[in-house]
């Protein structure tokens, strides 16, 4: 009767302690293998990759292991005349990578590496009549980009640069029957978009416009018996939702609505004991599976807000990546893991960095 429960089974021998040093090793080695197939094939999102890597590294307390100078040098080549920043040299500017770049430079305390006035101008130029933001000049509108715009401006202290009331009105027009948010007006709620919209409203000081009890209920219902969180009803759990869901609940002052102990168990089980790093979920999938494509030689992985491409694996272990490594670690940090630096739930940077900037983000309590 009904749909089978989509969840995973955590084996008794799954990792249950945090391999702190291993994760730092994994991140350090990732950026060293520049000829690697996966490294090359993900060039189109490099800027975000660098942000995931250095933020994860900083949370583990090992930022000095990253080659700061070469990263800054790389970044000098990614800003375009319009002010926007591309994922890598030769890639077009986009709000996604503009935010990643500003996050990186904030973390390195080196914002002047790029022309900030032009960044502000770029963001301003992408605001549409209805208050929404296009991701780039080609006009794709999404609440993800509303978040990118205000998060970047908040880090630059320039929230005054856009038409705020219209921006708020647009985000609110994406609120749904379940209290959640989607990409555009009428789009279904999705935990990643919820994070973006709740984050947006936090940054602009309008969190009271969310129905926190209703949305909080929908968010805590994302937790499955394995302890992991999914992004929408009936979907499989994924480590990155430990971030999107948990950070949203934290902003809404309702972190205690999920079972922290069980979630922690799930996140830790996603670690690769051998290589370090986190995968999207622990090995064994039970119930229905959303996309088995084991015969193709290339596999796609959809993780909000990006799509990845991976080669088919030959290694019989978890497939770890930087994205899940950051959000696994950040989730653990929100759950109070003392071996990690506290993370800011709105901007996903170390709390100490946000304090250094003197940014005050009012969460619900």
Footprint of other proteins on residues 64-83 (CB under 8 A)? none
* Options 18-26, 181-189, 240-248, 334-342: segment touching other proteins (CB under 8 A): 181-189
Verify binding: residue 129, other proteins, rule CB under 8 A: no
Beta carbon of residue 204, minimum distance to other proteins (angstroms, whole number): 10
If one asks whether residue 232 binds other proteins (CB under 8 A), the answer comes out as yes
* Burial grade of 151 (CB within 10 A; 0-12, 13-18, 19 or more): buried
3-state secondary structure of 275: coil
Distance CA 108, CA 71 (A): 10
* Interface with other proteins (CB under 8 A), residue from 275, 301, 342, 351: 301
- Cβ-count burial of 292 within 10 angstroms (0-12 exposed, 13-18 middle, 19+ buried)? exposed
Quickly list DSSP for 1-60.
Answer: --PPP-EEE--TTS--S--HHHHHHHHHHHHH-TT-HHHHHTGGGHHHHHHHHHHHHHHT
Separation of alpha carbons 171 and 358, rounded Å: 26
Does residue 184 bind other proteins (CB under 8 A)? yes
3-state secondary structure (DSSP) of residue 141: strand
125 contacts other proteins (rule: CB under 8 A): no
- Regarding 7 and contact with other proteins (CB under 8 A), the answer is no
Contact criterion met (CB below 8 Å) for 227 and 265: yes
- In whole angstroms, what is the distance from residue 278 CA to residue 267 CA? 8
Least distance to other proteins, CB of residue 116, Å: 24
Using CB under 8 A as the binding criterion, the count of chain residues that bind other proteins stands at 80
Identify each DSSP E strand in the chain by its residue range.
7-9, 284-286, 298-303, 306-311
- Is the four-CA dihedral 28, 109, 98, 86 of positive or negative sign? negative
Spatial contact of 91 and 44, defined as CB atoms under 8 Å apart: yes
Select the residue interacting with other proteins from 117, 290, 352, 355 (CB under 8 A): 290
Among 9, 65, 124, 206, binds other proteins (CB under 8 A): 206
Q: Which of 9, 91, 118, 158 binds other proteins (CB under 8 A)?
A: 91
138 to 167: interface string for other proteins, x by CB under 8 A: xxx---------------------------
Residues 305-334 that bind other proteins (CB under 8 A): 305-307, 309-314, 316, 319
For residues 144 and 149, give the distance between their C-alpha atoms in angstroms, rounded to a whole number.
9
- Residue selected from 110, 128, 173, 187 as contacting other proteins according to rule CB under 8 A: 187
Integer Cα distance of 36 and 235 in angstroms: 32
Using the contact rule CB under 8 A, the part of the chain among 22-30, 61-69, 202-210, 332-340 near other proteins is 202-210
Instruction: Identify which of residues 21 and 259 has a Cβ nearer to other proteins in the complex.
Output: 259
- Residue 186 or 358 with smaller CB distance to other proteins: 186
When binding is defined by CB under 8 A, the residue of 258, 329, 335, 346 that contacts other proteins is 258
Of positions 217, 275, 342, 361, contacts other proteins by CB under 8 A: 217
Would you say 76 or 312 has its CB closer to other proteins?
A: 312
């Amino acid at each position: 009767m009904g749909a089978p429960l989509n969840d995973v089974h955590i084996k008794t021998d799954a990792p249950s302690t945090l391999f702190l040093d291993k994760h730092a090793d994994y991140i350090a080695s990732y950026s060293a293998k520049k000829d690697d197939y996966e490294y090359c094939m993900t060039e189109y999102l490099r800027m975000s990759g660098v942000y995931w890597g250095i933020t994860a590294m900083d949370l583990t307390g090992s930022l000095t292991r990253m080659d700061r100078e070469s990263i800054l040098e790389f970044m000098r080549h990614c800003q375009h005349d319009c002010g926007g920043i591309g994922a890598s040299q030769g890639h077009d500017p986009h709000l996604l990578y503009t935010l990643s770049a500003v996050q990186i430079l904030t973390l390195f305390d080196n914002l002047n590496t790029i022309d900030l006035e032009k960044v502000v101008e770029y963001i301003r130029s992408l605001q549409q009549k209805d208050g929404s933001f296009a991701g780039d000049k080609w006009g794709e509108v999404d609440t993800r980009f509303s978040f990118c715009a205000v998060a970047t401006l908040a880090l630059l202290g320039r929230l005054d640069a856009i038409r705020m009331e219209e921006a708020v009105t647009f985000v609110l027009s994406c609120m749904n029957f379940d209290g959640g948010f989607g990409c555009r007006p009428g789009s279904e709620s999705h935990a990643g978009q919820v994070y973006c919209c709740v984050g947006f409203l936090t940054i602009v000081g309008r969190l009271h416009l969310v129905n926190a009890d209703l949305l909080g209920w929908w968010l805590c219902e994302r937790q499955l018996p394995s302890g992991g969180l999914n992004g929408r009803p009936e979907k499989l759990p994924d480590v990155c939702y430990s971030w999107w869901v948990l950070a949203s609940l934290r902003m809404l002052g309702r972190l205690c609505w999920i079972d922290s102990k069980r979630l922690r168990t799930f996140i830790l089980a996603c670690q690769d004991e051998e290589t370090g790093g986190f995968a999207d979920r622990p090995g064994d999938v039970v119930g229905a599976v959303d996309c088995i494509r084991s015969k193709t030689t290339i596999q796609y992985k959809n993780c909000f807000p990006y799509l990845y491409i991976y080669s088919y694996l030959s290694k019989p272990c978890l497939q770890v990546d930087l994205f899940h490594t950051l959000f696994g670690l950040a989730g653990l940090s929100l759950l109070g893991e003392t071996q990690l630096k506290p993370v800011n739930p709105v901007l996903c940077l170390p709390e100490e960095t946000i304090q250094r900037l003197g940014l005050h983000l009012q969460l619900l309590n």
